[in-house]
């Protein structure tokens, strides 16, 4: 679901800062034991939060973009969290696996650009 959290990235989306574990390079610098623990957490999906449950509605523009032939994360589970994102666009691209931006580049760019337009519109209409 929240793939940016699973991969340990730090993203700013729609004015919402998502903090996750340190980058891979900093984990490696801290030693192999920390890297092993991180990999185990990712592989066993052991987190301090339930990545499949959302406790609060996220009422900002959201894009859930999946590849129908994605053998890594699949596409069906994304539908389960859709109710927690009332402003979400849910897209499943046929003829695309895990590398959506490469396998369906034109569609990917159009869909992401439309979402970015909605993010910008939302930002511009936010009260100070």
Q: What's the pLDDT at 3?
A: 38
The length of the chain is 128
User: In tens digits, what is the pLDDT along the chain, a chain of 128 residues?
Assistant: 333 333 333 333 333 333 334 444 444 455 666 667 766 766 666 666 666 667 789 999 999 999 999 998 888 888 888 889 999 999 999 999 999 999 999 999 999 999 999 999 999 998 87
Read off the DSSP letter of residue 60.
S
Beta bridge partners of 90: 64
Domain ranges of the chain: 1-53, 54-128
pLDDT the model gives residue 36: 72
Q: Residue 92: which residues within 8 A CB-CB, separation 6 or more?
A: 66, 67, 68, 75, 78
What pLDDT does residue 14 have? 35
In 3D, which of 86, 87, 120 has the Cα closest to residue 14? 120
Q: What's the rounded Cα separation, in Å, for the pair 49 and 55? A: 10
Q: State whether residue 116 is helix, strand or coil.
A: helix
- Residue 12: CB partners within 8 Å, gap ≥ 6? 18
């Amino acid at each position: 679901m929240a793939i940016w959290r699973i991969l340990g990235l730090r993203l700013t989306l729609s004015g919402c800062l998502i903090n996750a574990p340190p980058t891979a390079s900093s984990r490696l610098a801290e030693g192999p034991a920390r890297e092993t623990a991180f990999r185990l957490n990712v592989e066993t999906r052991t987190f301090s939060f339930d990545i499949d449950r959302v406790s609060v509605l996220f009422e900002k523009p959201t894009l859930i973009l999946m590849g129908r032939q994605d053998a890594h994360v699949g596409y069906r589970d994304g539908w389960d969290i859709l109710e927690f994102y009332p402003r979400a666009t849910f897209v499943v691209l046929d003829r695309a696996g895990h590398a959506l931006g490469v396998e369906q580049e034109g569609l990917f760019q159009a869909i992401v650009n439309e979402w970015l337009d909605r993010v910008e519109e939302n930002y511009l209409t936010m009260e100070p």
